[in-house]
């Protein structure tokens, strides 16, 4: 749609100024008299079309032959065009005299070009309010809600579930007045009941025809054809069996699978283990949990202790925080800790920025905020981008021991596990202690075993005696 109309009128002769003045007055009666000159002149009028805008802007400029358009006018022209485009993009598209509003896919992020329309949260005929989610779009990283731009009644769905959509794609139409829109809930039941009758009617008519013609013209081969058109280019499809069902993978699950396999193919991964006595850290939390909640408004957990221990270990062994890039090694002078969070839709890894400058309370608040967003599906791309080191806590699910996989483009990942009371020898005596196995998987191309063991040993020392953090020893 053109945002402006360009009219150029070239006049010559002695009556040029009179014709220009009459032309401008007929278009802008209230405007002041434009500048004129005796040379042949060109008049340029730009005015955006009134549809979708509450006002009309006029620009006039007189250009003599051999003169170029001033840079100020060009800047004004470009700024008006960009402002109009932004205004149109942010507003819903209207039709039918402004009663119908088109619902389009919003901007999904700089690195996301398309997504899959997972499901509609509403039905045609349902009333929705402004900014109320009506559909969900799954991308490679997050799930995005498509919100209603206006309050009204859903008239129809244009897109279908499972389709690939891009930003700006029309998915639904909303009637602001609700006129002519009937609620579809009861009609769905009627159509479902009437469907068998409609299918049986043609069959009865076919039976009235000669049986010789109807016998070979069965539709069974047609229904089997689509099933045979789904060969996989990478893996052979297994033949169907009883009590099995085939469900397409979500885009997030596909992305996770691709990244994990790429990590396995790229890194020379090696895992080293150690065990940690959790007695002192658990006692610290038990002694100060009430005072901590009263002052900071958040519970004191174990994750903040391990994040602080990881920061101390990364500062002592900077190579763990580095990464290989081509023939170079990139050393990071900051610590952004990624926390692996398992959600019903897949694994996401939000990032705690500048964890080296945060205290226990700030870390706990950030973890709670990111975990809630991840489970609700409202976490953004920026909150998961980057990260220089990852901590994965499989202990919340009861995992006793595991070998975590590196999260590229990082070089190491720390795995936490469940706390189990085991008999330990302390001072020559066998006593029960709450113990946890910890694992560090690292890229052996960059990190030697010496640095990996020292790092894991630092984690053990700090967790077993948190006073080391205060004394920096």
CA angle, 208 as apex, 203 and 214 as ends, to 5°? Answer: 65
Distance CA(183)–CA(131), nearest Å, equals: 21
Handedness of CA 35, 39, 40, 44 (dihedral sign): negative
Q: Running DSSP on this structure, what letter comes out for residue 395?
A: G
Please choose, from the candidates 304, 298, 337, the residue with its C-alpha nearest in 3D space to the C-alpha of residue 320: 337
Spatial separation of the C-alpha atoms in residues 449 and 343, rounded to whole Å: 33
C-beta contacts of 99-102 below 8 A and 24+ residues apart: 99/175, 99/176, 99/177, 99/179, 100/155, 100/173, 100/174, 100/175, 100/176, 101/149, 101/150, 101/152, 101/173, 101/174, 101/175, 101/176, 102/170, 102/172, 102/173, 102/174
- Tell which residue, 435, 433, 369, 437, has the closest CA to residue 399: 437
**What is the DSSP track for 298-335?**
S---SHHHHHHHHHHHHHH-GGGG-EEETTEEE--SS-
Residues 6+ positions from 434 with CB-CB distance below 8 Å: 277, 278, 279, 282, 419, 420, 421
Beta-strand pair 143-147/133-138:
antiparallel
- Among 99, 114, 444, 461, the one annotated catalytic: 444
Active site residue 145: no
Greatest CA span in the chain, whole angstroms?
A: 116
Written as six digits, the tokens of 275 are: 């065990």
Is residue 308 within 8 A of residue 462, CB to CB? The reply is: yes
Please state, in angstroms and rounded to a whole number, the distance separating the CA atoms of residues 394 and 415.
7
Residues in the chain: 473
Known catalytic residue: 444?
yes
Among 189, 71, 74, 176, CA closest to 130:
176
- Which are the catalytic amino acids? 444, 448
């Amino acid at each position: 749609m053109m945002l402006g109309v360009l009219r150029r009128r070239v006049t010559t002769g002695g009556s040029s100024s009179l014709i220009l003045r009459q032309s401008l007055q007929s278009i802008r009666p209230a405007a002041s008299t434009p500048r004129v000159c005796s040379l042949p002149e060109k008049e340029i009028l730009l005015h955006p079309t009134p549809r979708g805008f509450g006002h009309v802007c006029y620009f006039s400029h007189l250009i003599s032959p051999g003169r170029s358009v001033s840079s100020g006018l060009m800047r004004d022209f470009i700024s008006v065009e960009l402002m109009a485009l932004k205004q149109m993009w942010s507003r819903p598209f209207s039709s039918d005299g402004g009663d119908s509003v088109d619902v389009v896919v919003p901007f999904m992020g700089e690195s996301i070009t398309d997504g899959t329309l997972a499901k509609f949260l509403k039905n045609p005929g349902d009333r929705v309010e402004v900014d109320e989610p009506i559909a969900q779009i799954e991308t490679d990283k997050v799930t995005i809600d498509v919100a209603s731009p206006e309050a009204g009644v859903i008239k129809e769905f244009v897109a279908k579930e499972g389709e690939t959509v891009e930003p700006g794609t029309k998915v639904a139409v909303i009637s602001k007045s609700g006129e002519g829109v009937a609620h579809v809930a009861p009609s769905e039941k009627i159509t479902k009941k009437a469907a068998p009758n409609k299918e049986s009617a043609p069959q009865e008519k076919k039976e009235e025809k000669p049986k010789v013609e109807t016998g070979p013209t069965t539709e069974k081969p047609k229904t089997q054809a689509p099933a045979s058109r789904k060969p996989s280019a990478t893996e052979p499809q297994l033949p169907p069996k009883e009590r099995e069902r085939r469900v397409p993978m979500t885009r997030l699950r596909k992305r996770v699978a691709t990244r994990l396999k790429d990590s396995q193919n790229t890194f020379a991964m090696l895992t080293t283990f150690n065990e940690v006595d959790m007695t002192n850290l658990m006692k610290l939390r038990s002694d100060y949990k009430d005072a901590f909640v009263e002052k900071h408004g958040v519970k004191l957990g174990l994750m903040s202790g391990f994040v602080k221990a990881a920061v101390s270990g990364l500062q002592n062994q900077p190579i763990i925080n580095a990464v290989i890039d081509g023939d170079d090694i990139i050393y990071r002078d900051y610590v952004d800790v990624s926390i692996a969070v398992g959600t019903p839709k897949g694994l996401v890894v939000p990032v705690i920025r500048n964890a080296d400058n945060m205290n226990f309370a700030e870390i706990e608040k950030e973890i709670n905020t990111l975990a809630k967003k991840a489970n609700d599906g409202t976490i953004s791309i920026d909150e998961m981008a980057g990260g220089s080191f990852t901590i994965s806590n499989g202990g919340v699910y009861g995992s006793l021991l595991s070998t975590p996989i590196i999260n590229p483009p990082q070089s190491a990942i720390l795995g936490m596990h469940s706390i189990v009371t085991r008999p330990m020898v302390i001072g020559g005596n066998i006593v029960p202690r709450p113990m946890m196995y910890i694992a560090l998987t690292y890229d052996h191309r960059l990190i030697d075993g010496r640095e990996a063991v020292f790092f894991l040993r630092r984690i053990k020392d700090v967790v077993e005696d948190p006073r080391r953090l205060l004394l920096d020893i």
